[in-house]
Structure 1
């Protein structure tokens, strides 16, 4: 069907009872009104490109039995809370509701309880739902399918879920922080005798005894407990369930047991045992009994070359993931037999030699990951014969130019060739033919020439663009088109000149902007303060000049966590106006998250390092190596969450403010090479986490505070201040130079009134404690994977979901949805 304008649907008869136009290339605004179709029982417009808010009167279609608007994710449909409430209250005959990818982030999860009690299917995949999971679900006694994955739901899964005895499929994977109590879990799985699909990926259940899983229904065909924190012995009988098709226990490090490959059912189509301690005997029996296996995920497993050859006999495989399995030598030619393969991941091994040409024979291959190996030579032109969506060859030893054949992959959504230092040549303007590209990472190579100007007018699909650490010249491409989806832009470490284009303000989704280490000659770009989602701004080591004065808009840089304008020629007083607007630096993140596909290079505690994954708790303020003058403002103490503060190598005068004592999360403070005078405030000694301190080469005097952190600093932290005395300096203090008694808590009178109550030690402990627990949980997955694999897997999951929906034979008893 050619492109259809949604408003043309209004010409259809008002007596229509079914309107089903799934995957029909509908494009544009959803019709403003639907009240005309009062007799509609089925409305299904899934897998199109519809945009805009859903009409307020959708709730007037009171005869609706089935409503499916999923899969319009490119531009997002949305549903306001009032419209949603009308819809769920009025559609009393509704049996099936699928609003996947429809933005309902403002709708309270408890509003779901107003849906019809006769509902049989509720699918709200990736809808932005946030808040507490409904405390009760017993109302929905006829519910067969429940899918709330990839939202931001928190809290406990309700005890009464087990009362929904008609449930066939449950998927609550990848929410913010869902948990389940052992007692309620046991009751749930005992009562759900019809359950065929159970997916609780990333639901916290470390207290659940794996043996309780033995009570799962014998009809179970799909079990996914990805990253649930399970520990103990996994029950053997689950491996032998007669209908088992999908088994994914990935990322349960303390789960033990053995896979009985000699007796396992040969209908198993997905097996994922990555990062478990479940042993697998990869002998002939394993492969002979799994001839119909379609998905094999054995990351970080002890696989030998002979095992790898036997895998070539699993000719039904559509996905093979052996990343991190310590494989070496050349990629074995036996894999050429896997002609059904759609996804191949051999990342993080020790493969050497050239990229095998036989990959060109795998004509169905869509996702190819060979990153972090020792592959060398040029990228073969045979790549042009593939139908790639994901192509990741980063962190190898590839050399030569990027073949133009790659830019012929019309379906390519993620391309990473980063960290191949001998990859040379120019970036062809043909790259802009990749209309659905979401991620482009060509960083840390030896690419030269000019950046194609067409990148500024790239399609609205591009989200991550990293061209950093190359030899690119010219100016930053412009203009940036309106409506783009760019979230990460890194051009760091090139030879770019000229000015920062003001059209960057069109990138309203931008979270990270790194233009550091170039030759940009400009004044401070005030227009960037209008970017509402900006977390990180790095403009260091350029030729910026002039004053950084007051903000020009309200809420300027309110979400900024990293502000690095070091090594420029900026002058005038410190930008107190911005210090007052850095709201994200004033409070510690109570719900930290990771920006998975992002990286940034910063000077951390005096050493330049690259963060491959950026945690939202990172707070850096670096204004060093400029020509700032005047006093350090007292308002600096408002930035309580800052971890690293560097004002060194300027011409700052006056005293070190006692308000520095309010920076309770500070780990590194550098005020060296200024003209600061007076005493070192005793309040600095109360900064419990301060690990690096440099006050050298100023005009400070008097006694150095003692106790706590100050006992850990050596003389280099204070050298070049001739009038300082006391440990660790060689000069001893006279009685009149001794510091006043140090208070047990910092509450300087004037500063306390100015800033309000600071964090006490309990608040600090609670903040760090909750952050640590959450960090450990998140790090369970994140720190053991490599950028950008996590991001790419999420993208792949979305592709797989859409692909499976278009194949009628994929839903085996309702359990093979992904």
Structure 2
């Protein structure tokens, strides 16, 4: 069928209308194009400046083209004025100065600069000139300093987002103006902005039009005003992680549109009872992690059938999972971890077909893991670690799983083959089940997205699949099994491995040199195996290495000095004990252990870079006891070279390692004195020099090590008095046994005058022969004096012999002897009196 005929007049009218429409549209004004181009040129493009971007929007900004067609630019079609600028996630890096051409765009109504890096710029007061702004988003863009009060001039703002700028702060006066002046606000997000000086009651006058309020991690303290919870249009409220925030969440008169509630890590009281639940029927997101929940009847939560996210972790719930949870068919996320929930899991959760994330770790669940959990069709994350589950692991019936942690239970049998068919799996942790058996299937090589693999503390056997040296793993922990064979011979170039732990197996052969391809490796633990090799000096080229444990193998030979610049400069733990190393101690390495030369006050745990929930672990002898550290603090500094065949003296340079907390050189063949420079190790908590061939006196400087809790100098050849006072009074005889020449109260052997120290600690450096006689009086002077004395003695002997005991000579010698004897007795008396 054809179109109806159009009259000439109608056609003319159509053309006129079309021309009018075209003429009413304006291109971007030249001065606006110039301003945008100058703004672009004031920043560099850096891929690390944005979290998840594929291309910068400003790439499309070309001179001579219409700026209204550029990415991120919106114009008014009638006037051509730029009214919107969306440069979120554009990889912009640099400082946003107050004279930026951005501020010449006076007609802006929406400005979106989130997810860039403005390099700790201060938010300019000129933002207050954008009088037409309805939306301002500076989220996650590295702004710093005070929020300027000029922001409160933006009276048309509907949405203000300054969140995730950790160095940004908001003063009480400015915040009060925001509350008073920005009466059109519907969305206010100040997450992570420092508001510690703002009184919570200043929120009482927030606009009744507010629909979303996010104040998490703001440092708020004091009682939160209850009327905020009653705002009629409030849909989303997040006050979480303000641990000093108190008050009560009302159980009645709540807004019936509230759909998102987060009070995690606050002290705001929540009365979980019928009145509250009936007022929260619209709720979709409930986050009450580590919260002050009162009258906690979990059964009531089964009535909130709109819930999609529920987090009740880190509370004190002690019941079973109620059957009413089966009503929450819309749940996508459920976190009940870190409670005291009990009993087996029956069918309470088998109806949750939309569940994607289930976290039940750190509870008291028992029985077998129900097979229906592995049949949930949407499940991506399952965390059941640290419970009392028993039995075999069921086959997984879907391939949607990305995260699986079943560690620290009592599971047994082989690892089901279906786990190795989860193509999207990124994390697999089955550690510490002890009775998991069988071999690690080569099918694991098909998991191309796997980043964390921890199968430690089980009874796995067989060899390590070769592909585990060439895939994209960040964490490989297969320690404490029965694995045999060799370490995978080929580590591919530019791999991502950060943590390698194969401790406690039966691995043989050599340490593969290709391990240096793991350029970001931070931890190597190959201890307690049967590796036969020399010291792997090539490891010094791993510039990020912080922990190296090679203990209890069959390593041998000299540990030579460094061959590279800054060898092992970041090493915090160096343990090569219980091997067959020989020769002198590796003094050259001691000079480059920079991380051990200073203490670290950062108390965080070492963990995988992109998987912060995975903490590194290590097995180590700590203060004489074999301990598995399930977490390792950044502060720890350990040097353990014990149980080898090292010879020679303790080098004085060890006194540079002032960050050391534990030093163990025991069970070697070390000779010479104990260096007094060890008194510089002021952070030392444990010192073991036992079972060597050390001679001389114990340096009094060791008494100044106020943190020293463990001291073992036993079974050496030390002599003289054990220093008294300070720290030495805390050690018993076991610290000094096997040194027959020592005296003092600890060994129940009295010290006499000739054993008293002849010089004060400040007079000489005990244990260091080069300074024994003070500055300017070294070994050459001793030899000269000895030679002169020898000649004089021979001459006098000849005179005595020829003159038949001349009276004048005897009187002189006897007088001198009697005088010296009296002085000695007098000094001994004073010394004993002081000691008593």
- Taking structure 1 as the reference length, what is the TM-score of the superposition? 0.75
Which residue matches 1:68?
88
Among candidates 624, 630, 633, match of residue 615 of structure 1: 633
- Whether 1:663 aligns to 2:674 is no
Matched-pair contact (CA < 8 Å) for 1:214–1:238 = no
Matched-pair contact (CA < 8 Å) for 1:262–1:285 = no
Matched-pair contact (CA < 8 Å) for 1:194–1:217 = no
Which residue matches 1:508?
519
Among candidates 703, 713, 716, match of residue 685 of structure 1: 703
Matched-pair contact (CA < 8 Å) for 1:384–1:406 = no
Gap runs ≥5 in structure 2: 1-32, 37-51, 73-81, 608-613, 772-836
* Aligned counterparts of 1:447 and 1:188: Cα–Cα separation in 2: 59
**SS class of match (1:728):** helix
Comparing 402-411 with 552-561, greater Cα deviation is found at 552-561
The two structures, once aligned, show a CA RMSD in angstroms of: 3.7
**SS class of match (2:511):** coil
- Whether 1:437 aligns to 2:450 is yes
**CA offset at residue 369 of structure 1?**
1.1
Which residue matches 1:388?
401
- Whether 1:627 aligns to 2:645 is yes
- Measured against aligned partners, the alpha-carbon deviations of 1:73-99 in whole angstroms (never above 9, x if no partner) come to xxxxx7654xx6699945555854466
**SS class of match (2:557):** strand
- Whether 1:271 aligns to 2:289 is no
Which residue matches 1:566?
577
**CA offset at residue 124 of structure 1?**
5.2
**SS class of match (1:68):** coil
- Whether 1:494 aligns to 2:508 is no
Comparing 483-492 with 609-618, greater Cα deviation is found at 483-492
Matched-pair contact (CA < 8 Å) for 1:239–1:259 = no
Among candidates 327, 333, 347, match of residue 313 of structure 1: 327
- Whether 1:731 aligns to 2:749 is yes
Q: 1:346 to 1:498 in 2, by over 3 A?
A: same
* Aligned counterparts of 1:634 and 1:192: Cα–Cα separation in 2: 70
* Aligned counterparts of 2:379 and 2:288: Cα–Cα separation in 1: 23
Among candidates 391, 398, 418, match of residue 405 of structure 1: 418
* Aligned counterparts of 1:468 and 1:728: Cα–Cα separation in 2: 42
**SS class of match (1:337):** coil
Among candidates 419, 425, 447, match of residue 438 of structure 2: 425
Matched-pair contact (CA < 8 Å) for 2:719–2:739 = yes
* Aligned counterparts of 2:505 and 2:138: Cα–Cα separation in 1: 47
- Measured against aligned partners, the alpha-carbon deviations of 1:203-232 in whole angstroms (never above 9, x if no partner) come to 544xx1133475578244334444432264
- Whether 1:370 aligns to 2:384 is yes
Matched-pair contact (CA < 8 Å) for 1:371–1:395 = yes
- Whether 1:644 aligns to 2:662 is yes
Matches within 5 A, 1:7-18: none
Which residue matches 2:545?
534
Q: Which has the higher contact order (CA 8 A, sep 6+)?
A: 1
Which residue matches 1:774?
none
Which residue matches 1:578?
589
Q: 1:510 to 1:179 in 2, by over 3 A?
A: farther
**SS class of match (2:647):** strand
Which residue matches 1:453?
466
Which residue matches 1:168?
187
* Aligned counterparts of 1:591 and 1:452: Cα–Cα separation in 2: 37
- Measured against aligned partners, the alpha-carbon deviations of 1:562-583 in whole angstroms (never above 9, x if no partner) come to 1111112222222222222222
**SS class of match (2:626):** strand
Matched-pair contact (CA < 8 Å) for 1:43–1:66 = no
Which residue matches 1:555?
566
* Aligned counterparts of 2:211 and 2:57: Cα–Cα separation in 1: 38
Q: 1:662 to 1:243 in 2, by over 3 A?
A: farther
* Aligned counterparts of 2:692 and 2:263: Cα–Cα separation in 1: 57
Q: 1:158 to 1:425 in 2, by over 3 A?
A: farther
**CA offset at residue 352 of structure 1?**
2.2
- Measured against aligned partners, the alpha-carbon deviations of 1:92-138 in whole angstroms (never above 9, x if no partner) come to 558544664x7x5xx6313665996658454655x8x5xx9423344
- Measured against aligned partners, the alpha-carbon deviations of 1:608-661 in whole angstroms (never above 9, x if no partner) come to 111112111111111111222222122212111111111111111221112212
Which residue matches 1:476?
487
Among candidates 349, 366, 370, match of residue 356 of structure 1: 370
Which residue matches 2:11?
none
Matched-pair contact (CA < 8 Å) for 2:229–2:254 = no
* Aligned counterparts of 1:457 and 1:558: Cα–Cα separation in 2: 27
Q: 1:191 to 1:334 in 2, by over 3 A?
A: closer
**CA offset at residue 44 of structure 1?**
7.0
Gap runs ≥5 in structure 1: 1-13, 18-25, 46-61, 71-77, 754-818
**SS class of match (1:440):** strand
* Aligned counterparts of 2:228 and 2:606: Cα–Cα separation in 1: 38
**CA offset at residue 692 of structure 1?**
0.8
- Whether 1:698 aligns to 2:713 is no
Matched-pair contact (CA < 8 Å) for 1:239–1:260 = no
Matches within 5 A, 1:257-336: 257-263=270-276, 264-282=279-297, 285-288=300-303, 290-303=304-317, 308-336=322-350
* Aligned counterparts of 2:119 and 2:336: Cα–Cα separation in 1: 41
**CA offset at residue 259 of structure 1?**
3.5
**SS class of match (2:367):** strand
Comparing 389-398 with 477-486, greater Cα deviation is found at 477-486
* Aligned counterparts of 2:768 and 2:121: Cα–Cα separation in 1: 46
**SS class of match (2:627):** strand
Matched-pair contact (CA < 8 Å) for 1:319–1:341 = yes
- Measured against aligned partners, the alpha-carbon deviations of 1:522-563 in whole angstroms (never above 9, x if no partner) come to 222222222232221111112222222222222222222111
Matched-pair contact (CA < 8 Å) for 2:470–2:491 = yes
* Aligned counterparts of 1:361 and 1:589: Cα–Cα separation in 2: 47
Matched-pair contact (CA < 8 Å) for 2:251–2:275 = no
* Aligned counterparts of 2:204 and 2:649: Cα–Cα separation in 1: 65
**SS class of match (1:278):** strand
**CA offset at residue 720 of structure 1?**
0.8
* Aligned counterparts of 1:695 and 1:333: Cα–Cα separation in 2: 62
* Aligned counterparts of 1:633 and 1:172: Cα–Cα separation in 2: 53
Matched-pair contact (CA < 8 Å) for 2:697–2:718 = yes
Matched-pair contact (CA < 8 Å) for 1:360–1:386 = no
Which residue matches 1:146?
161
Q: 1:397 to 1:745 in 2, by over 3 A?
A: farther
Matched-pair contact (CA < 8 Å) for 1:163–1:188 = no
